[in-house]
Amino acid sequence: MADSATNRQQYKEGCPNCGSSEIFYNIEGGVFECKFCHNTFEPGQVRPEFDNSIEDVKQLSGTLLSPGMKTTQGTQREVFAFQCPSCGATMSMDPATDTTTIKCHWCRTLLTTANRITNGIIPDAIIPFTVPKAQAEVSIQEYLNKRKFFADPEFIRTFTPDMVYPVYFPYIVLDLKADVEVAGEAAIRKRKHDGGKNNRDTYDYDVYNFGRKFNLDVNNLLVEGNSSFIIKPGENYRENSKNIINSILPYDLKRAVAYDPKFLNGGYRAEFRDLNVEDIQPVVRNQVVDISRYNAVETMKQYTHGYQFKQDEANITGSKYESILAPIWLYSYQDRTGKLNYICVNGQTGETAACIPVNKRKLMAVTLAIELPIALLCILLSVSIWMW
């Protein structure tokens, strides 16, 4: 891992040609560009940690934390941090940003200097934007056009490209190795008995207890780093819009570079990581169990009538945690009920997903128009059969 003090010194460097601090990230060129002399230079070194292999994972022992997973904080010279007084979102941005026009990228509340807070933890790495804003706007517009028939007309009418914000979202990158054991029941269908006139076929099955025990190695697992996007116990998964952000995964972590606050110059923002290693352990365990089950299923092709897992045990014997910022183009909208709806575009791949408010009246009208004739037809058929 690079020394965090060395990184902080590197952050303060300006244009290598003229020394100006007026630098912005050029998405089309993938380089930093000086506003004063127009010199361009590479953003930084690619993070070799994200280019490791399963063989590297096998060597892990204990728990390794990168500098970005600890409590190192940036200085006020590097970035400003704000907290929205309306929705509570926290964000970092360039100190040169006009503080009279800053709006929250979630609820669009106007922020002021009174909303400034202490900066968050410096992440280890960042994945630069490669999808320009114009391309993201086209993706969002095409997505809306395909769904506007059932969408809330107010949502469609008020869409403006100016409200599409470039935001870096925090993730935790995890490598781990674990000793895994799963067990349950599975069945093989042996024979079928014809039901005859009753038309109720019956079957004979052989039911077996199965067990699988193996070593699991996981490379570059992404876990949310902000508690706002983790669906908590008791929350309705289907009605929750939090998971929309993760539906635009994955990212190519091999393109990640060392974090530099200059990536926030020019209107870019970054959400805070507010989750620590101990906070994400339930999520990590669920992910490990899912991966374990997937691998176990690959060994159970002989069972022809399904299986049921009844026991899952995972003992993580080695792990490495690093923090990273991933790029997202975001457009948000709060409907009349107060529910937050949004469209997001993966800033690296262009993948688009959304939670769009529905025009319930139109949906109900279309549903009735389809179901009513079917119901009437069923009634007419029933009456005809009875009379016959």
**pLDDT per position as a tens digit, 255-307:** 899 888 888 888 899 988 888 898 899 889 989 999 999 999 999 988 988 88
pLDDT higher at 242 or 65: 65
pLDDT higher at 12 or 158: 158
- Give the pLDDT band (50/70/90) at residue 6: very low
The dihedral built from the CA positions of residue 206, 211, 217 and 221, taken in this order, carries a sign that is: positive
DSSP strand pairing (165-193 vs 269-271): parallel
- Give the pLDDT band (50/70/90) at residue 72: very low
Q: Which residues contact 267 (CB under 8 A, 6 or more apart)?
A: 93, 94, 97, 165, 166
How far, in Å, CA of 271 to CA of 273, rounded? 7
pLDDT higher at 2 or 93: 93
Q: Are 35 and 20 in contact, with CB atoms under 8 Å apart?
A: yes
- Give the pLDDT band (50/70/90) at residue 41: confident
**pLDDT per position as a tens digit, 109-151:** 888 777 776 667 788 899 999 999 999 999 988 888 887 776 7
Q: Are 15 and 36 in contact, with CB atoms under 8 Å apart?
A: yes
How far, in Å, CA of 58 to CA of 61, rounded? 9
Please tell me the number of Cα atoms within 13 Å of 48 on its side-chain side: 3
Give the tokens for residue 129: 């934007």
Provide the whole-model pTM. Answer: 0.79
Burial class (CB in 10 A: 0-12, 13-18, 19+), 291: middle
Q: Are 218 and 288 in contact, with CB atoms under 8 Å apart?
A: yes
* From 63-77, 124-138, 331-345, 374-388, the region with the lowest mean pLDDT: 374-388
Q: Are 305 and 187 in contact, with CB atoms under 8 Å apart?
A: yes
